[in-house]
Amino acid sequence: MLEKYYGYKSFRKGQESIIKSILNKSDVLAIMPTGGGKSICYQIPALLLEGITIVISPLISLMKDQVDTIKQMGIESTYLNSSLISKEFNEIISNIKENKYKIIYVAPERLESYEFIMAITECKISQIAIDEAHCVSQWGHD
């Protein structure tokens, strides 16, 4: 799967054990440097597990880049953030309800959206990942 989707013959240090832990339904805290291959650690389990993966990310440009890359691999994914107009947001919410995505990137403020909450209550969630977790304190504590 690593080579098929990502073109790599082997995992980087730590990736394989992180993925195995996720697949064994263990909670995982993975701290890796920028460019260290964190995304693969939740994207591969997303492909193997039934249901959707929700990735909480504060960076709009990173979300778009990740979704574009994942879509090029043939994996249905999307993002929800403040860059979307109302029509786009509503279409994505409708698609979430129909289980059209394997991976959904969500901005922290969208987690409070009533429409998003209602949409994901109808879905099987396989995992939740927090990308750029060092930004959590900037998101607020309330």
- 71-128 pLDDT, tens per residue? 999 999 999 999 999 999 999 999 999 999 999 999 998 988 999 999 999 899 999 9
pLDDT at 133 over 70: no
* pTM of the predicted model as reported, rounded to 2 decimal places: 0.90
Residue 135 has what pLDDT? 61
Contact 118, 43 (CB under 8 A): no
- Smallest CA-to-CA distance from 5 within 77, 65, 69 is with 69
Burial of residue 60 (CB within 10 Å: 0-12, 13-18, 19+) is middle
Angle 25-74-52 from CA coordinates, rounded to 5°: 30
> Given this model, what pLDDT does residue 137 score?
55
Residue 43 has pLDDT above 90, yes or no: yes
Tens digits of per-residue pLDDT, 16-32? 999 999 999 999 999 88
Torsion angle of the four alpha carbons 72, 73, 75, 79, in this order, in degrees rounded to the nearest 10 = -40
Cα–Cα distance, 111 to 36 (Å, whole number):
27
Mean pLDDT across 44-53:
96
Single-letter amino acid, residue 119: A
| Domain 2-137: CATH architecture, name and number where available | 3-Layer(aba) Sandwich (3.40)
